[in-house]
Amino acid sequence: MKTIKDNTLRTLRENYKESGEKISFNEWVNRESENDPNFFRFLFNKEFDNDFDADLSDEERKEFKETFPLLVG
């Protein structure tokens, strides 16, 4: 079951473009997820008791990793 909405992905892409970063979109998303304590609340449009990814379900973690694979080269 996909829980990340298309409009959320659009917003992330717009924010990425506005950032002017010279890294890939997936790298940027992964960095934002590590630096913004509210990132996963926004991404899944869901309230969590704890910041960052502390309260994600296994399904949500899997969806995040599948949607934004961190390409390590």
Instruction: Give mean pLDDT, residues 47-68.
Output: 92
How does residue 71 score in pLDDT terms, banded at 50, 70 and 90? low
Question: In this predicted structure, what is the pLDDT of residue 70?
Answer: 76
Tell me which DSSP letter residue 43 carries. H
pLDDT single digits (tens) 17-42: 999 999 999 999 999 999 999 999 99
Q: How many CB atoms lie within 10 A of CB 68?
A: 21
Strands (DSSP E) along the chain, which ranges? Answer: none
Q: Where are the domains of the chain?
A: 6-67
Question: In this predicted structure, what is the pLDDT of residue 3?
Answer: 84
Q: How many CB atoms lie within 10 A of CB 50?
A: 10
Alpha carbons within 13 angstroms on the beta-carbon side of residue 12 total 24
Question: In this predicted structure, what is the pLDDT of residue 44?
Answer: 94
